[in-house]
């Protein structure tokens, strides 16, 4: 059974729910299949696989990378998290718009957001593990972020006082990012 694809209000970003086969022993699911992704018009090749674990109220993001722009396929493998993707592509009719879902180990929903999106998450359970496949390799010199609480984004985060990294506390606004020459790396 193929993966179920739900469109989001933002072109090119989708929510994927894989078929799950359960019995008394547990479950089995195909998280990624190159042939299915090709049929869906999604990347067939991922170059890096990340896995993070965070405690309740940790908010990571909104992150992106402009040189080796990377798409990400995000999933929660333990616990529950609020996943967010923000369109930062110049010329996009949805520039600055976001979509979000609650993903969990139980519902197995995944978010695919192409390059040109800033992505982040907030942990809703006591702890959560998030895994994400990336189409590019991490480059610390060309990474950046958008401030999680930028009023221009109006993201309804499920936490008012998140636990943030020092880097995320100092992140720029979307307007500041768009004023930088590197922002032209993402065009609609």
Active centre residues (catalytic): 63, 132
The residues, any chain, with a CB within 8 Å of residue 96's CB and separated by 6 or more, are: 86, 87, 88, 152, 153, 174
For 85-96, the DSSP string reads EEE--BT-TTTT
Those residues whose C-beta lies under 8 Å from the C-beta of residue 120, and which sit 6 or more positions away, are: 59, 60, 61, 62, 63, 83, 84, 148
Q: Per DSSP, which regions of the chain are E strands?
A: 4-7, 14-17, 20-23, 26-29, 48-55, 59-65, 72-78, 80-87, 98-104, 110-113, 117-123, 127-134, 143-145
């Amino acid at each position: 059974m193929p993966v179920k694809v739900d469109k989001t209000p933002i072109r090119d970003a989708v929510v994927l729910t894989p078929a799950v086969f359960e019995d008394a022993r547990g479950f089995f699911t195909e998280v990624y299949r190159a042939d299915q992704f090709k049929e869906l018009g999604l990347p067939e090749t991922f170059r890096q696989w990340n896995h993070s674990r965070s405690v309740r109220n940790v908010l990571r993001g909104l992150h992106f990378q402009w040189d080796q722009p990377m798409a990400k396929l995000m999933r929660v493998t333990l616990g529950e998290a609020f996943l967010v993707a923000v369109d930062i592509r110049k010329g996009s009719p949805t520039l600055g718009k976001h979509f979000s879902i609650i993903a969990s180990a139980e519902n197995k929903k995944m978010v695919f957001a192409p390059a040109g999106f800033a992505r982040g998450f907030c942990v809703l359970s006591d702890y959560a593990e998030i895994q994400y496949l990336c189409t590019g390799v991490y480059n610390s010199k060309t990474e950046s972020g958008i401030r999680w609480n930028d009023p221009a984004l109006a993201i309804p985060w499920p936490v008012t006082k998140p636990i943030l990294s020092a880097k995320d506390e100092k992140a720029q606004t979307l307007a500041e990012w768009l004023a930088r020459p590197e922002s032209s790396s993402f065009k609609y």
